[in-house]
Structure 1
Amino acid sequence: MKSKWWVITGVMLMVLLLGACGKAAGPDTSASGESEKSSSSAATNTTNDKGEVKVVQTEMGEITIPKSPKRVVGLSVVYPELLYSLGIVPVAVQNYHEDFPKYLQEPFKNTMKMGIAKTPNFEAILEANPDLIIAPAWWSKKDYDQLSSIAPTVLLPEREEWPEELQDIAAVFGKETEAKQVLEDLKQHEKEGADKLHSLIGDETVLYARVMEKEIVLNGPNLSRGAFVHKRLGLKPVSNFPKDETGLSISMEVLPEYDADHLIIQLDDEENPEIQKKYKDMMSTSIWKNLKAVKNNHVYLVGGKEWFNLGMAPMSDNYAIDDLVAAFEEKNK
C-alpha cells in the first residue's frame, strides 16, 4: 500500500509540475508576442503620429489629447476664428449669423454650423465626430461632462484681450510661432491702415455707432470695438464722449449731441428686416439729415457679420482695416 501511495503521489506531482510548466510557458510566449507588438506600436508612433497623445493643462486640470488632432470643434463665436488664424479649420462651430463672414466663407465651406445657444448642440457635435473640443471655460464649463464624453475637451481661461486667448490656444496645438506671426502681421497692418486714414481725414472726428434691433449703441474708445477704431487706427473721437464710458445706448434724439465729422454705421445684422427698417426710419428723419456727417456724405455703412468679432479676433480686425480704408478712400479723395 505504501509503495502504491508513493507511485500515485509521484504521478500527481508530475502532472502538477507539467501543468505549471505549461502555464509558465504560456505567459512567456504571450509576453514575448506582446512585447514585439508594443515595440511595433512605438515605432509606428514615431513615424506616424496617428494615435500619439500629449498632456495639456486646462481649466479642468491636466488632460490627455491627441498630439495632432484632425477634427477640432471650436465653441463660442470667437474660438473658430482664432483656430483658423493658426491654420486649423474646425469641423463644427457655433455661429451667430446664418452665414459665415466673407473672410471665412471659403475656408469654412465644409464646416458644420451649430447655431449659438447657452447649451451647445450635443447631437451636432457628436455627428461631427471630433477628436478634440476646445472652448472658453466661461462659456462651456457647465457642459464639460457631456462634452468630454464625446471627445477630449480643452477649456481655457477667460482673458481680457483676444491675443492672450490666441496664445492659450496656440500652446495647446504647439503653434506658438504662428500666433506670434499673426500678432506681428496685424500690428503692421494696423499701422499702415492708421497712416492711410490720417492722410485722408487728419484730425477730423469720427463716431462709431451700432444700429441694433432695439437701440443705437455708440462705441467709445474704452470698448474693444471703439478702441480698435479710435486707439489702434487713430481715428479721433468726439470730444464730449464720456471718458469713463465704454459705450452709450441712446435714442435717435440724442445722436446730434455727438455730431462727428464722420459717422461709421454698423448694422448689427444686415439681413434682419427689423434692423433694416430701423435704419431706413432713421435716415428719413430730419435729425439724421441735419447731422454734419450726413450733409457731407461722410457716412460709412459696414456689415454686421464681417464686423461682429471686431476687436475680439485677428481676421475680423484685418478685414475691418481694409473695409474702413476703402470706404474712407471712396468719399475723401
Structure 2
Amino acid sequence: MGAFLCLLLLLTACGKDDEKSEKKSESEPKKEITLTDAMGEVKIPADPKRILASNLEDSLVALDVTPAAQWAIGTSVHDYLQPYLKDVPTIEWNMPLEQTINADPELIIFSSPSAIEEGKYEEYKKIAPTYVFKDEDAADWRKQLQIMGQIVDKEDKAKEVLADYDKKAEQAAKELKTSIGDESVAVIWVIAKQYYLLESNRYAGNVLYNDLGITQPKMIQDLPPAEASWNPIALEALTELDADHIFLASLPGEDGLQALKDSSVWKGLPAVKNNQVYDMEDPSNWTINGKIASDVTIDNVLKALK
C-alpha cells in the first residue's frame, strides 16, 4: 500500500509539472522570425492577424487562418473556398496599392515575383512586411502549405493536414481502382470559347493521375509537360481524345460550352457515346493548386465514378 501511494503521488506531481509546462508554452509570446523568400530575407511579424495572400488563400484556410481579403477578378472569386470565405471582402487579383492599403494588412504574401506589378515591390514593403514565394514553391501546393505553416507559425498543423490528405487520397485511389479499374479519365476546362486539357502535372491533373493513380488517356500521355504558359487546344484536335471518362469543368454559361456539345467532334468521342461525361459546373477547384481544392476534386471524382 505504501508503494502504491508513493507511485500515485509521483504520477500526480508529474501531471502537475506537465500542466505547468503546457501553460508556460501557451503563455510564451510568439517571436518575429526571418525567412528567405524569392527576393531575399524578410522579417515575418509575430502572430500577424491581418494577412493578404492573393490567390494563396487555400493554404491559409487549410491552416485555419482567415485572410483579411480574398482574391477576385471583378465579382469572380474562388467559388470552392466560399464555404470558408463568404464573408471575407475581396481584393482585385493584382493587389492594387490603394486596395492593399485599405485592407490594412500586417503581412502581405505574393505567389511569385511576377505577381507583383513591376517596380511596386518597395511600395508594398512600406505598407507591411512582404513575403514573395519562389515560383517552384508556390506551384507545388505541398511545399506552399509547409512554407505557409512556417510563416503563420503552424508547422505542426501543416504536417497534420498533409498526412490527412495523403490518407484520403490513398483510400480514394483504392475505391476508384475497384470501381473503374484501368479505365482512363480526362479533364477539359472550357472558358470563353477556348478549350484546355489538363496535363498530368497541372492543377487537378496532379490529383487524378498522381495522387489517385487514374489512367491517363493516350492523348494526355502524349502532351508535353505543363509549362507556365497554358495553351488552348483546337476543338478539332479533341478528335484524338480516347478517354473512357471525361470531366467537363465549365461554368454553365461559357460561350464555348454549347459549341463543344453541338460539335460532331464531341459527339464522336467514346466517353460521350457511352454517357460517361460529368459536368463540373464549378471549375474553380480544378484549375488551381491547393489542399482544399484537391480535397474537393477527390470528392467530385468519387461521386462521379464510384
TM-score under structure 2 normalisation? Answer: 0.79
Gaps (5+ residues) in structure 2? 1-25
**Mean alpha-carbon deviation: is it higher for 187-196 or for 141-150?**
141-150
Number of the residue aligned with 2:124: 147
Number of the residue aligned with 2:152: 173
Are the equivalent residues in 2 in contact too, given 1:238–1:258 (CA < 8 A)?
yes
Q: 1:286 offset after TM fit, Å? A: 2.5
How far apart are the structure 2 equivalents of 1:94 and 1:289? Answer: 37
Number of the residue aligned with 2:67: 90
Q: 1:280 offset after TM fit, Å? A: 0.9
- Code of the residue aligned with 1:314 in structure 2: it is K
Gaps (5+ residues) in structure 1? 1-45
Note closer, same or farther for the CA distance 1:195–1:129 as it changes in structure 2 (3 Å cut). Answer: same
How far apart are the structure 2 equivalents of 1:278 and 1:94? Answer: 25
CA RMSD of aligned residues (A): 2.5
Q: Greater RCO between the two (CA within 8 Å, min separation 6)?
A: 2
- Code of the residue aligned with 2:238 in structure 1: it is L
Are the equivalent residues in 1 in contact too, given 2:112–2:134 (CA < 8 A)?
yes
Note closer, same or farther for the CA distance 1:152–1:163 as it changes in structure 2 (3 Å cut). Answer: same
Are the equivalent residues in 1 in contact too, given 2:218–2:242 (CA < 8 A)?
no
Q: Which of 63, 80, 85 is the matching residue for 1:108?
A: 85
The answer to whether residue 218 in structure 2 is matched with residue 239 in structure 1 is yes
Q: Identity rate of aligned residues, in percent? A: 28
Q: 1:255 offset after TM fit, Å? A: 1.4
How far apart are the structure 1 equivalents of 2:172 and 2:46? Answer: 38
**Quick check: which has more Rg, 1 or 2?**
1
How far apart are the structure 1 equivalents of 2:33 and 2:104? Answer: 21
Number of the residue aligned with 1:250: 233
**Mean alpha-carbon deviation: is it higher for 149-158 or for 237-246?**
237-246
How far apart are the structure 2 equivalents of 1:249 and 1:308? Answer: 14
How far apart are the structure 2 equivalents of 1:258 and 1:71? Answer: 46
The answer to whether residue 239 in structure 2 is matched with residue 264 in structure 1 is no
- Local SS of the residue matching 1:325: helix
Q: 1:103 offset after TM fit, Å? A: 4.1
How far apart are the structure 1 equivalents of 2:42 and 2:237? Answer: 53
Are the equivalent residues in 1 in contact too, given 2:80–2:284 (CA < 8 A)?
no
> Alpha-carbon deviations, 1:294-326, whole Å to 9, x = none?
1211001122223231xx110000011001111
Q: 1:104 offset after TM fit, Å? A: 2.1
The answer to whether residue 101 in structure 2 is matched with residue 126 in structure 1 is yes
Q: 1:240 offset after TM fit, Å? A: 4.6
- Code of the residue aligned with 2:127 in structure 1: it is I
- Local SS of the residue matching 1:217: strand
Number of the residue aligned with 1:316: 293
Q: Which of 284, 288, 293 is the matching residue for 2:262?
A: 284
Number of the residue aligned with 1:195: 174
TM-score under structure 1 normalisation? Answer: 0.73
Are the equivalent residues in 1 in contact too, given 2:173–2:213 (CA < 8 A)?
yes
Number of the residue aligned with 1:24: none
> Alpha-carbon deviations, 1:44-69, whole Å to 9, x = none?
xx9685xx751312334444443111
How far apart are the structure 2 equivalents of 1:317 and 1:97? Answer: 25
Note closer, same or farther for the CA distance 1:328–1:98 as it changes in structure 2 (3 Å cut). Answer: farther
TM superposition outliers: structure 1 runs of 4+ over 4 Å: 46-49
How far apart are the structure 1 equivalents of 2:177 and 2:27? Answer: 54
The answer to whether residue 198 in structure 2 is matched with residue 215 in structure 1 is no
- Code of the residue aligned with 2:192 in structure 1: it is E
Number of the residue aligned with 2:279: 301
How far apart are the structure 1 equivalents of 2:58 and 2:234? Answer: 33
